[in-house]
Amino acid sequence: MKTKTFLLKKTAVLAAFVLPALLSLATAMAQQTQGPRLPATIPNVNLTDLDKVAMSLPDYGRKHMMIFYVDPDAHRQNRDFQTDVEARQPELESPNIQAYAILNLKDTILPNALVRSIADRRTRGKPSVNLADDNRILSTAWGLGDCNGKFCVLFVTRDRQIVYFRAGDFTDRDVAEFYATVKRYM
For 109-158, how does the pLDDT look when each residue is reduced to its tens digit (9 = 90+)?
A: 999 999 999 998 888 877 778 999 999 999 999 999 999 999 999 999 99
- Which of 96, 95, 103, 89 lies closest to 179 in space, CA to CA? 89
- Which strands, in side-by-side order, build the sheet including 64-70? 40-41, 161-167, 151-156, 64-70, 97-104, 128-133, 46-49, 54-56
List the chain residues with pLDDT less than 70: 1-34
pLDDT of residue 19: 39
Spatial distance between the Cα atoms of 1 and 55, rounded to a whole number of angstroms: 71
pLDDT of residue 14: 40
pLDDT of residue 185: 96
Q: What percent of the chain has pLDDT over 70?
A: 82
Question: Would you say 32 and 145 are in contact if contact means Cβ atoms under 8 Å apart?
Answer: yes
Structure pTM? 0.80
64: β partners: 97
pLDDT of residue 122: 84
Question: Would you say 97 and 63 are in contact if contact means Cβ atoms under 8 Å apart?
Answer: yes
